[in-house]
């Protein structure tokens, strides 16, 4: 019996071809490092130190499974999650579902435009309204790349912004490393009063984002099509697991860096109640370069995430209603509420918190259909979820839904 081994050149060729197929998950991962994450993670570290490290780890593990299921749905069915919902729902339910999805998309855009506006104020002392307008205009430019050049160039731009985000937020923990024992101790699940529960719910709500769940199914479908069941599809699903795994490791490292930086640098300070004050405190503790990189990371986060959010919104509308409006027109429409908030002089950090509460309503409505559809053998065929995968996915959906309901309750009652 002889064994034929692949030549080094063949193995290298296969590795390169697999690498070329990576990318959709990195676009979806932008949702996991948006300004809402920045606000909740820095608040958690500043108020509770290393206590909630375990929440970051748990949220990222849950998000990885959710994003893989979304990508798998697109690959196997050749349809996006909104399209499958449309095919399975009657007209009244479909319209109601679209209305909540649009509300969630606007809340997402609010957080991202506000984050970009805050970053431009920190970097150039621009008024928030002007910063929000600039953020919107630049995001239109990024969407033009997708509209005219296609998905691959758009992916490259977004991956470049993700790299800037990672450098911006991870620089502080390199400049001044956090406590190793504190970090390890934070892996033990526990809370410290209602305030820590509220922040944990906000962190998870800012991590698993409805528009990323909808979007990933379309990104995978548009990149890879609908391969026939068999070796080709199995290979793409394996590559998709790697794609999701790498993207979520990067997103998780960025989120963890935000919390560790705040726990190490800002914990115990009473003057850290906004992104602006956190930026100033980082400058005081670590120097102007650390503060500059933090602001640059926040700006890249706002620009990338608002572009991806508008892209997702267009996919949701087309999938649920079979209607398309020009992507740039849609960008203008969803930008308006954010600009109104900034023009009204509402505290931007408070606006970020409100946006996370609105997002909380939409998360179960994206998660539950996703788990249901990927567990349906008539829809997924041989690639139906394994029963253990289904059990884990339903548990994740239950945990996230419960925490988001808790977030809404605690926000309304003031955390009491």
pLDDT tens, 92-142? 889 999 988 888 878 888 888 989 999 999 999 999 999 999 999 998 888
Find out whether 401 and 199 touch, Cβ atoms under 8 Å: no
Find out whether 410 and 373 touch, Cβ atoms under 8 Å: no
CA atoms of 47 and 41, how far apart (whole Å): 10
At residue 414, the pLDDT reads 66
Tell me the chain's radius of gyration from C-alpha atoms: 21
Q: Which residues contact 3 (CB under 8 A, 6 or more apart)?
A: none
Mean pLDDT of 24-47: 88
Closest CA to 203 of 58, 105, 370: 58
CA atoms of 192 and 48, how far apart (whole Å): 8
The fraction of the chain above a pLDDT of 90, given in percent, is: 46
CA atoms of 71 and 51, how far apart (whole Å): 33
Find out whether 105 and 211 touch, Cβ atoms under 8 Å: yes
Helix axes 387-412, 53-77, angle to 10 degrees: 130
Lowest mean per-residue pLDDT among 145-149, 250-254, 357-361: 357-361
Hey, how many other C-beta atoms are within 10 angstroms of the C-beta on 4? 5
Q: Which residues contact 312 (CB under 8 A, 6 or more apart)?
A: 105, 108, 211, 212, 214, 215
Find out whether 380 and 76 touch, Cβ atoms under 8 Å: yes
Find out whether 31 and 212 touch, Cβ atoms under 8 Å: yes
The burial class, CB within 10 Å (0-12 / 13-18 / 19+), for 100 is middle
Q: What are the sequence ranges of the domains in the chain?
A: 20-413
For 37, 205, 354, the CA distances from 412, given in Å and listed in that order, are: 20, 16, 10
At residue 233, the pLDDT reads 92
Long-range contacts of 315-319 (CB under 8 A, 24+ apart): 315/80, 315/82, 315/214, 315/215, 315/218, 316/82, 316/98, 316/101, 316/102, 316/105, 316/211, 316/214, 317/98, 317/102, 318/82, 319/79, 319/80, 319/81, 319/82, 319/83, 319/85, 319/86, 319/214, 319/218
Model confidence, pTM: 0.89
Where helices occur in 78-230 by DSSP H, the ranges are 81-88, 91-124, 128-149, 151-175, 180-185, 194-207, 210-224
Hey, how many other C-beta atoms are within 10 angstroms of the C-beta on 368? 15
CA atoms of 138 and 105, how far apart (whole Å): 18
At residue 1, the pLDDT reads 42
Higher pLDDT, 329 or 373: 373
What is the DSSP code (8-state) at residue 22? -
pLDDT at position 2 over 50: no
Hey, how many other C-beta atoms are within 10 angstroms of the C-beta on 196? 18
CA atoms of 233 and 125, how far apart (whole Å): 51
pLDDT at position 22 over 80: no
pLDDT at position 308 over 60: yes
- 20-413 topology per CATH: Amino acid/polyamine transporter I (1.20.1740)
Q: For residues 416, 394, 352 and 135, what is the CA-based torsion angle, rounded to 10 degrees?
A: 180
Closest CA to 414 of 267, 195, 223, 86: 195
């Amino acid at each position: 019996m002889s064994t034929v081994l692949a030549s080094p050149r063949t193995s290298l060729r296969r590795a390169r071809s697999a690498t070329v197929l990576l990318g959709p998950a990195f676009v979806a991962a932008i949702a996991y490092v948006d300004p809402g994450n920045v606000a909740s993670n820095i608040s958690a570290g500043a108020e509770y130190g290393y206590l909630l490290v375990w929440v970051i780890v748990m949220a990222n593990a849950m998000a990885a499974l959710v994003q893989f299921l979304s990508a798998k749905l697109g690959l196997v069915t050749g349809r996006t999650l909104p399209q499958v919902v449309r095919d399975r729902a009657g007209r009244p339910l479909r319209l109601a579902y679209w209305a909540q999805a649009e509300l969630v998309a606007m809340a997402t855009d609010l957080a991202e435009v506000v984050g970009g506006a805050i970053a431009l104020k920190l970097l150039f002392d621009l008024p928030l309204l002007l910063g929000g307008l600039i953020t919107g205009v630049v995001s239109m430019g990024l969407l033009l790349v997708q509209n005219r050049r296609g998905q691959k160039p758009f992916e490259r731009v977004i991956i470049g912004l993700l790299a800037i985000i990672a450098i911006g937020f991870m620089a502080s923990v390199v400049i001044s490393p956090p406590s190793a024992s504190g970090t390890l101790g934070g892996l033990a699940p526990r809370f410290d009063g209602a305030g820590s529960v509220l922040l944990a719910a906000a962190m998870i709500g800012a991590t698993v984002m409805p528009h990323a769940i909808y979007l990933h199914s379309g990104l995978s479908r548009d990149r890879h099509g609908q391969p026939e069941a068999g070796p080709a599809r199995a290979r793409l699903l394996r590559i998709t697991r790697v794609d999701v795994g790498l993207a979520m490791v990067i997103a998780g490292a960025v989120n963890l860096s935000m919390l560790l930086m705040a726990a190490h640098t800002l914990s115990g300070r009473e003057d850290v109640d906004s992104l602006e004050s956190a930026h100033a405190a980082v400058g005081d503790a670590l120097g102007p370069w650390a503060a500059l990189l933090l602001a640059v990371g926040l700006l890249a986060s706002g620009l990338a995430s608002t572009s991806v959010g508008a892209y997702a919104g267009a996919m949701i509308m087309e999938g649920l209603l079979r209607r398309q409006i020009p992507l740039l027109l849609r960008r203008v429409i969803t930008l308006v509420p954010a600009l109104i908030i900034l023009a009204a002089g509402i505290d931007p950090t408070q606006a970020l918190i409100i946006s996370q509460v609105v997002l909380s309503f939409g998360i179960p409505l994206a998660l539950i259909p996703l788990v249901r559809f990927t567990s349906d053998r008539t829809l997924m065929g041989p690639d139906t979820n394994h029963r253990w995968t289904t059990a884990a996915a339903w548990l994740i959906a239950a945990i996230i839904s419960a925490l988001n309901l808790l977030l809404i309750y605690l926000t309304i009652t003031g955390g009491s």
